[in-house]
Amino acid sequence: DTGVSQDPRHKITKRGQNVTFRCDPISEHNRLYWYRQTLGQGPEFLTYFQNEAQLEKSRLLSDRFSAERPKGSFSTLEIQRTEQGDSAMYLCASSSRGAANNSPLHFGNGTRLTVT
Partner 1 sequence: DQQVKQNSPSLSVQEGRISILNCDYTNSMFDYFLWYKKYPAEGPTFLISISSIKDKNEDGRFTVFLNKSAKHLSLHIVPSQPGDSAVYFCAASATGGTSYGKLTFGQGTILTVHP
Residues that bind partner 1 (CB under 8 A): 4, 6, 31, 33, 40-45, 48, 50, 55-56, 91, 93, 95, 97, 100-110
Of residues 19 and 35, the one with the C-beta less far from partner 1:
35
Q: How far is the CB of 99 from partner 1 (least distance, A)?
A: 12
Q: How far is the CB of 67 from partner 1 (least distance, A)?
A: 14
Q: How far apart are CA 25 and CA 56, in angstroms?
A: 18
Q: How far is the CB of 92 from partner 1 (least distance, A)?
A: 8
Of 51, 53, 33, residue with least CA distance to 43:
33
Q: Find out whether 87 and 113 touch, Cβ atoms under 8 Å.
A: yes
